[in-house]
Every structure is written in structure tokens, then in C-alpha cells.
Structure 1
């Protein structure tokens, strides 16, 4: 770091909102939901099945995530499909899991060839 380079100092509003975003992902079910929505849209019923949780519980989590602008919706017929809101949310989830994988394994899953076990 150069002597004239200062670390960022964020406003209280930015820090407060950032903490809320991190709190939103601090719930295991919501983090799993975000992970399932990284690369494809899914309906509540698909998410509930994948997570082994009741649909109404998944819907409540999705409602909170939608209010936090972490997911967005699209109607397809009578179904509502959910997806991650934007690339920033997607990258936050990927980086969080990647960091944890580095903490837990000498060769994290995201550095191994596809289909290779630990």
C-alpha cells in the first residue's frame, strides 16, 4: 500500500445497508436459495423440493429476499419464477462460498476439475 493511499471510509448509510445485505444471506435457507438461483430461474415449488422445506416457508424467505432486492421475479403462466437480482448478488454468494471452501479444504471444490471428489 502506498503511503498516500487511504482505505475507503464509507458513509453510515452504506455500512448499515451492507450489514443488512449480509444479514439477509446469514440465514442458511436464504443462502441455499440464493445458490439455487445463481444460474437459473426457479419456482417456489422447485426450491422447496430441492431444499426439503415446505413451500410457505420458502415463500417467506423469498419475500424477504425480494424486499432486500436480492431476487427478482418473472411470471410464466400461473407460475412465478425467481432469480438472483443481479451480478453483484451472484458474485457475493460465489465469493462467500469460495472463501469458506478455502478455509475448509487444501484444494477447494471450485479449484478441482468437475466431477472430482475431495
Structure 2
């Protein structure tokens, strides 16, 4: 018996397929995927959510929040910075991180709101 969630035909609306393929060809999907990959780690999403809640946090405070060493948190924050998710500023011996812009803040906010809805309806 065929799967219920698989189409039995090869294409229904070729103009839609062509439009979306054209749009996708103009986007840098690899870089977008890297953002989601960076956030797919539980510690990094905790870090990102912490930065969403508090706007800016010192590396040592982030470590206390997520229950990780400063070295581990620094590694995760550097990755978030490299992927364009977080930025930092140095103040003497302290390094403060924040989310890079409102797009990233909205992404984090929406992901957590979505999860609350899924949990409430599940």
C-alpha cells in the first residue's frame, strides 16, 4: 500500500514550481541553513534565548544561566558570532554579547512561541 503522505503524481502546478525554483535560485539557502544549524544546538538556543530576554549579557553570566563553563560558552558564542547571530563588545576584562539585530530577535521569539503552541495543542 502506498504512503498516505506522498503524492501519486509528479507535478500539479508547474508555474508555481518554476516560480519558487526561480526565487530559491536567487537566495543564499546555504547561509540561511547555517543559521538554523547554529541554533539547532540546545546550549546555543538557550544562549540565544537568554540574550533575547536580557538584551546583553557577560560571557560569565551566560555560563551561569546555561550551566556551562566560561570556555564552553565562549566557544558557543564565537560560533553564534561567526554565523551572524550574535555580536560582542569588550569592556576591560569583560566581554558582553547581544543578538545582532531585530531579525534574529524575532526568529528566537517566534521559535519559542511556536513551541509553546505546539506543546499546548499536543
| Interval containing the TM-score (normalised by the shorter chain) | 0.7 to 0.9
* TM-score normalized with structure 2 length: 0.76
What is the Cα-based RMSD across aligned positions, in Å?
2.0
| Residue 15 (1) aligns with residue 51 (2) | no
Match of 1:26 among 25, 31, 40: 40
**Residue 9 of structure 1 aligns to a residue in which SS?**
helix
Q: Which has the higher helix share?
A: 2
* TM-score normalized with structure 1 length: 0.79
Distance 2:89 2:25 in 1: 34
Q: Any gaps of 5 or more consecutive residues in structure 1? A: 107-118
Bigger-Rg structure (1/2): 2
CA deviations on 1:20-77 (whole Å, 9 max, x unpaired) are 1110100001100000101421111000011111111101000111111110011223
Aligned residues: 103
Correspondence for 2:62: 47
C-alpha displacement of 1:18? 1.0
